[in-house]
Amino acid sequence: MKKKINIGALISGTGTNLEAIIKACEKNKINGKVIFVGSDNPKAKGLEKAAKHDIPTFFVDYGQIIKQIKNAPTAIKVPEDFDFDEIWAKQKFFLGKTADEKQRFFIISRVIAESELLKIISAYSFDLIILAGFMRKLTPYFINHINTDLNEPRIMNIHPALLPSFPGTDGYGDTFRYGCKVGGCTVHFVDYGEDSGEIIGQKAFPILAHDTLDSVKQKGLELEWELYEECIQLFAQSRLPNNTK
């Protein structure tokens, strides 16, 4: 059997997808092992779930970092390898040629937080990072540090809609409110845009007349557990384009 891949995970909340992936690894449904779980939220319940499986956990408090920068903007220290113009040119979810003050703050504050994440992550030898309900947009600064070969993406995300429809934070809600008869979820690689990376797999379900937003979310979540497992296993088996791990 091929050597198991090492998987790192980033979460923000309860970690339902994370727990499903951990159990799939333990049952050898995924030829891999979760070797760390990090969060932007020190109170994320998913950290407790990971710890119960003896998986190392950590957090970088994004909220506190953003607050400190707002309170003392002249005291901020950006990473030495940070080039704002380079990151701005690559970041695709902003429109316009020139960054306004809000957009500059977003990029600078995120990069400072991401640099703290990277300091911790660099201690681990990993093959893949999965986003399992990580609610922070990643900048090209972080992505490029993980994807050292841009032809071999190593950051995977699951999204609650059938991309390219309904990117953003409320995929199931947007699908339901639009009146769609079919909902679903998507696993994709992360790129410089918002849920715009290469699609790895999708699963769909019918939205019936009696469905509510809660029932749509439950249908989708149950499919997410299946789909994420399948897509990570494809990566572990080197069955994705440009994946030679």
Q: Catalytic residues, which ones?
A: 159
CA dist 19 and 25 (Å) reads 10
CA dist 42 and 13 (Å) reads 10
- Alpha-helical (H) ranges within the chain are 16-26, 45-52, 62-71, 84-90, 101-121, 140-146, 171-178, 213-236
CA dihedral sign, ordered 75, 60, 119, 243: negative
Phi/psi region, residue 162 (left: phi>0; alpha: psi -120 to 50; beta: rest), is beta
What is the DSSP pairing of strand 128-131 with strand 32-39?
unpaired
